[in-house]
Amino acid sequence: MPQLVHSPAGMRIRAAIRPALQARTGETILVGLSGGADSLALLVACAEEASSAAFRGSGVRIRAAVIDHGLQPGSAAIAEHAAAQAREYGVEVDVRAVEVPGGTGVGGMEAAARSARYAALAKIADEHGAGTVLTAHTRDDQAEQVLLALARGSGTRAIAGIPLERELAPGVRIVRPLLAESAEITRADTIASCVDHGLTPWHDPHNVDTAFARVRARRVVLPVCETELGPGVSAALARTADIAREDADTLDALAAEAMESVLQVAGSATHSNADPRALSVAALADLLPAVRHRVIRRFATTQCAASMTREQTLQVAALVTDWRGQGAVNASGVTVRRVRGDLLFEAHA
């Protein structure tokens, strides 16, 4: 372990990751390491914090995983350079090459690379009994995510941005401690920490390629917003995600509770139709619109593995609130029709 560097930015990052480590005493924690400034700063903060007096005897073990996507010339050497910097801090590293499927698909190459990376991280975590994978998304990443969601006209859940944590695979959760509202860690912090620690981050050429919408948001749109609207736009967008996440979590919880109630009515002995594919029109009509729409989408997903756009959701809701004898609504994977007092969801073969 190199001599401890008292970097102001580094100490702020250590404070941000400390709760994640404290919650996982006695565990192996896997850090996703790309070699960029964000992930290097996260890795060093984890290594320094885990070896500090506060964690002595805690049993927290830090391990790194470097995923080589093979998308640039010399990617193997880039991966090894990142791993070498981690090893200087006494961290064991797995370097894993993955194949990114060709073709565009939904989300293009960026989404394909992300899927391949997360699958590899989940596998490495499983191999070492690590229940947690840390990634180095910052508040700047969050701001970009919110901006893109707003541009698409997305709902509250999308505007809530990148989740602070979620299940990556059975028994493995991905946690993003630098996204925490209380920490306010930005890209400037991770770069400063790397400079203070004498680290040499890799600069991914994809991060300056304006063929990607996220790069245009980062390098073109947000700077214009900061110039024309004043400083602090990125921070405000990240705060928007925090607020939207609270609202989305509450509405999703209300929708889950409401769906149970609606199903009980539709499946009751006194109801005319006990079909498990049905939702009660009367029970749906009693719900607030935001909850009703979530119940409709949730039921379509859970019962029919289907997805609905905003327009399709409103068409289905109109079978409840604006019934004029209209015909069935066709969505991706499901047809919904009103049959007496129920909405009947029929999955496509």
pLDDT in tens, 163-202: 999 999 999 999 999 999 999 999 999 999 999 999 999 9
Burial group, residue 328, by CB count within 10 angstroms (0-12, 13-18, 19+) = middle
Mean pLDDT of 12-27: 97
In this model, does residue 337 exceed pLDDT 90? yes
Q: Which residues contact 281 (CB under 8 A, 6 or more apart)?
A: 319, 320, 323, 338, 341, 342, 343
314-334 confidence digits (pLDDT tens): 999 999 999 999 999 999 899
Mean pLDDT of 212-236: 94
In this model, does residue 125 exceed pLDDT 80? yes
In this model, does residue 22 exceed pLDDT 90? yes
Burial group, residue 125, by CB count within 10 angstroms (0-12, 13-18, 19+) = buried
Domains of the chain from N-terminus onward:
8-239 (3.40.50.620), 267-347 (1.20.59.20)
Confidence grade of residue 138 (pLDDT, cut at 50, 70, 90) = very high
Using DSSP's 3-state secondary structure scheme, residue 330 falls into: strand
At 269 the pLDDT is 46
pTM metric for this prediction: 0.90
272-313 confidence digits (pLDDT tens): 555 788 999 999 999 999 999 999 999 999 999 999 999 999
